Amino acid sequence: MPGLIYQLLVEDHRRMEGLLTLAAADTGTCGAGAYEEFRSVLLRHIGMEEKILIPSARRARGGERLPMADRIRLDHGALAALLVPPPAPEIIVCIKAILSGHNLLEEGEDGLYEICERLASDEFGVILEKLRNYPCPRLKPHVSSPVVLDAARRALARAGYEWDELVSHPTIKNPVA
């Protein structure tokens, strides 16, 4: 049965999915309100994993990295890069495509969350409290520039994704799970 850390983080995933669906449904403004809330929740969630969860698992493994940590970090970099430009339908399609595989890597059997729960035994209460109290980031304004879109495309490529593939085939999952 999934524990409290798992439940907390999966609830975040479902909340983000709902916000992104709302943002995508509002084609006129690309769901500016829902998208900004999604952006904040996603950046907070990434911070929780990068600053608390993954490091605590590494400590519990005597300094040895989790095998999936690199894949997760590449996805986080691609997602963060996609949050810089203003929301647009193709940006939302790319984010959804990445998250579809990414969330499975974290939520699945022997995924990040289950592994971290098992490893967290000594620090469980502390980790859970840190996750619950992790602050929302201060959002910077979107940057509308070809340079920003090029940087996002490079971040996608580093993570094994191709912009054109994601936009034309939005059901693509993680390329390297």
Q: Is residue 41 part of a domain?
A: yes
CA distance readout (Å), 31 to 38, 61, 86, 88: 10, 42, 11, 10
pLDDT, tens digit, for every residue of 39-74? Answer: 999 999 999 999 999 999 999 999 999 989 999 999
Number of neighbouring beta carbons within 10 Å of residue 125: 10
| Residue 87 CA, distance from chain mean position | 16
- Averaged pLDDT, 15-36: 80
Q: Is residue 139 part of a domain?
A: yes
The share of the chain scoring above pLDDT 90, in percent, equals 73
* Residues 44 and 78: beta-carbon distance below 8 Å: no
Containing domain of residue 103, as a range?
4-168
Q: Is residue 135 part of a domain?
A: yes
Nearest residue to 99 (alpha-carbon basis) of 5, 7, 170, 27:
170
Q: Is residue 176 part of a domain?
A: no
Q: Is residue 173 part of a domain?
A: no
Q: Is residue 65 part of a domain?
A: yes
Domain count, the chain: 1
Q: Is residue 38 part of a domain?
A: yes
Q: Is residue 126 part of a domain?
A: yes
Secondary structure element (H or E) that encloses residue 166, with its range: helix 163-168
Tally DSSP H helices, then E strands, for the chain: 9, 0
pTM: 0.90
Q: How confident is the model at residue 121 (pLDDT cuts 50, 70, 90)?
A: confident
